[in-house]
Amino acid sequence: MITDEPTRRAPDASHAADAVFHIERHGIDHVEDVERWATPAGLFAMWAGAIVNFEILVYGAVLMSFGVDFVQAVMLIVVGNTTYALVGLTSLQGPDAGTSTFTINRAAYGPNGNRLVALFNWLTQVGFETEGIALVVLAAIALAAKAGFHAGTPLKVAFILLAAAIQLVLPLLGHATIQKTLRLLTVPFVALFVVLAALTVHKVRVDAYAHGASWQTVMAGLAFVIIVSGLGWTENGNDYSRYIPRGASRPAIVGWVVAGTALPSILLMLLGAAVATYVPNAGGNPVTDLPRAFPGWFLVPFLVVSVLQLFAINSLDLYSSGLTLQALGLRVARWQAVLVDTVVAGGLTAYAIFDSSFNTLLTDFVDSVIVWIGPWTAIFLVDWWLRRFRYVPAELQRTGRGLYWRTGGVHVPAIVAQVLGSVAAAMALATPFYLGPISSATGGADFSVFTGMAVAAAAYFALAARAVRREADVQERLLGVAGGDAASLRGRG
C-alpha cells in the first residue's frame, strides 16, 4: 500500500524540475515524490508575499463605497476573510494528487466535463490579471504625472506593453521562483504598510457614514468581501501545494495558508476602509484618490512599491491561468500557455484603461465570478470527501477512458449540480444591473454565495454519492496495487 509518510530526499534532487530562476519543467503532469521539495510553512511566506498588497487595500476602500459605516465594514471584513479557510482546504488535494487544481477536478467532473469549469476558471484568472495590470498602468500614469509628463494615448499603450512584459517574468519561470521571490518581498511590503498605517490611523473618521447601511446592503458587501478574499482564491490552492510531499500534515497546510492570507488581508482591508472614511471616492480611482490619504513625499515610494506588489499578486493568477489552459486541452507547454494569457490580459487591460471606469469594471467582474465559483468549490470539496480524501494520480492524467471517464468523459451529476448551484446563486444575486428573484423578494439582499454553495453541495451529494463511493473502493484497490509498483503512479497522457 502507499504510505502516508513524506518521501525523504536530497534537497538538490528536489529542485531538478523546479529550480529557482530556471523555467519550471512541470505543467499539469504528475510531480514525482522525489521532486516534492516544498513545505507547508513555505505556503505562509508565498501567500503573505502576495496578499500584503495594494490591491487588497483597494478592496477595503471599494467596500466603503457600498454605503456601509466603518463598524459594519470591520464586521464584514473579519467575517468575509474567514473564507480563506476554504483556500486551506483546497490546498490539501495537491500533495496527494501531485498535480494542479483543474487536473484534479477531472475526478469530480470527468476529463471532458472538467473543460467547462476550467474555462470559467481561466476567464476568472485572466480577469484578476487584467485588474492587477490595470492598477499597475494607473500607477505608472500617476508617476509620470508626478514627473511632469502627461500620459497621452501613446504613453499609455507603452505602459500597458511594458507592464505585460514585466508581469510575464515570474509566471514564465514558474513555481519555485514565484515562491522564493514572494518570500523575499514580504518584509519590504509589510514595512510600507506599517508606514502607511502610521500616517493614516489618526485621520480615521469612525463616524463616517454613521447612519449605517441597511441589512440588504450589508449582505451585498459581505458577498463582495467573500469573493475578493478566500472564495476567490480556492481554485489556485493546489497549484502551489502540489510540490509538498504526500503525508505532510494537513492541519499544518491549512494553518499556514490561513495565517498567510486571512491575517494580512483583514489588516489591509481595514486600512483601506479607514482611508475611505476621510478620502471621498477612494475606491473609484484608487491610484489617484487613495494617495491623498498621506503626505506628498510618500506618493512616489508608495506607488513604486505598490507596482511591485501588484506584479507579485498577479504572478499567482497568471501562473494558475497557464495551468488551467493546459487542463482545458491546449496542447502547449506551461510557459507557452503563460505567453498566451499575457497577450489576452494585455488586450483586456487596454480596454480597462481606455473604455471603462475601474470601479465599475471591478464590481461587475466580481459579480459574475460569484455565480460559478461558489458552486464549484462546494462540489470539489464534497467529491473529495466522498472519495475518502484520495485520488489515483495516474488516472487523473488520463484524458481518455479510465476510472474518471464516466459518460463520454463527463460526470453528469457534477454538471447538473454546477448548473443548479449557479442558477441558485444567480437567483439570489443583487447587482446594479441585475436583481435575482430571491434578492428582489428580500429587498435587494445578496445571498448568492450561500445559495450557490448550498444547492450545489446538496445536489451533488444526492446525485453522485453512491457512485463516487463505489469509485472510492476502486481507488483503494488501484492504490494498493500501485503501492508495489511506483511506476504505475506516474502521470501519463
Rounded to whole angstroms, what are the CA distances from 294 to 117, 297, 384?
43, 8, 48
pLDDT above 60: residue 486: no
- Among candidate residues 5, 54, 104, 72, the one with its CA nearest the CA of residue 394: 104
- Locus of grid cell 492587477: 132
Do 52 and 257 form a contact (C-beta atoms < 8 A)? no
pLDDT above 50: residue 449: yes
pLDDT above 60: residue 246: yes
- Among candidate residues 146, 135, 175, the one with its CA nearest the CA of residue 25: 175
pLDDT above 60: residue 14: no
In the prediction, which pLDDT does 366 show? 67
In the prediction, which pLDDT does 79 show? 97
All domains in the chain, ordered by first residue: 11-368 (1.10.4160.10)
Rounded distance, CA 91 to CA 258, Å? 11
If phi > 0 it is left, if psi is from -120 to 50 it is alpha, else beta; for residue 148 that is left
Q: What is the mean pLDDT of residues 336-364?
A: 80
pLDDT above 90: residue 39: yes
Comparing 180-189, 280-289, 436-445, which segment has the lowest mean pLDDT?
280-289
Do 285 and 67 form a contact (C-beta atoms < 8 A)? no
In the prediction, which pLDDT does 5 show? 36
Rounded distance, CA 377 to CA 380, Å? 5
**Burial (CB count within 10 angstroms: exposed 0-12, middle 13-18, buried 19+), residue 216:** middle
Q: What is the mean pLDDT of residues 408-427?
A: 97
pLDDT band at 275 (very low <50, low <70, confident <90, very high): confident
Q: Give the helix/strand (H/E) hosting 110.
A: none
Q: What is the mean pLDDT of residues 393-414?
A: 95
Rounded distance, CA 270 to CA 63, Å? 10
pLDDT band at 261 (very low <50, low <70, confident <90, very high): very high
Alpha-carbon radius of gyration of the chain: 22
Percentage of residues in the chain having pLDDT higher than 90: 58
Which segments within 43-200 are labelled E, that is strand?
A: none
SS3 430: strand
Q: 304: which residues sit within 8 A by CB, 6+ positions away?
A: 143
Start-end of H helices in 231-298? 237-241, 250-276, 286-289
Write the DSSP assignment of 358-425 as a string of letters.
Answer: HHHHHHHHHHHHHHHHHHHHHHHHHHHHHTTT---HHHHT-SSSSTT-TBTTB-HHHHHHHHHHHHHH
In the prediction, which pLDDT does 139 show? 86
In the prediction, which pLDDT does 6 show? 38
Angle between helix 299-328 and helix 113-146 axes, rounded to 10 deg: 160
Comparing 70-84, 209-223, 383-397, 414-428, which segment has the lowest mean pLDDT?
209-223
Q: pLDDT (tens digit, 9 = 90+) per residue, 280-330? A: 766 666 666 777 777 778 878 888 888 888 899 899 999 999 999 999 988
Percentage of residues in the chain having pLDDT higher than 70: 89
Task: Supply the mean pLDDT for the chain.
Answer: 87
Do 337 and 325 form a contact (C-beta atoms < 8 A)? yes
In the prediction, which pLDDT does 9 show? 41
What sign has the CA pseudo-torsion 234, 447, 384, 127?
A: negative
Do 85 and 380 form a contact (C-beta atoms < 8 A)? no
198 versus 320: which is more confidently predicted? 320
In the prediction, which pLDDT does 72 show? 93
- Among candidate residues 255, 302, 245, the one with its CA nearest the CA of residue 94: 245
pLDDT band at 482 (very low <50, low <70, confident <90, very high): low
pLDDT above 70: residue 488: no
Rounded distance, CA 237 to CA 159, Å? 31
pLDDT above 80: residue 277: yes
In the prediction, which pLDDT does 163 show? 93
In the prediction, which pLDDT does 487 show? 41
Rounded distance, CA 77 to CA 88, Å? 18
Comparing 83-97, 160-174, 300-314, 399-413, which segment has the lowest mean pLDDT?
300-314
Write the DSSP assignment of 3-45 as a string of letters.
Answer: --SPPP--HHHHTSSS-TTS----SSS---GGG----HHHHHH
What sign has the CA pseudo-torsion 292, 297, 298, 300?
A: positive
pTM: 0.89
**How many CB atoms within 10 Å of residue 484?**
9
- Locus of grid cell 507547454: 333
Q: pLDDT (tens digit, 9 = 90+) per residue, 457-466? A: 999 999 999 9
In the prediction, which pLDDT does 87 show? 97
pLDDT above 60: residue 430: yes
Start-end of H helices in 286-357? 286-289, 299-328, 334-355
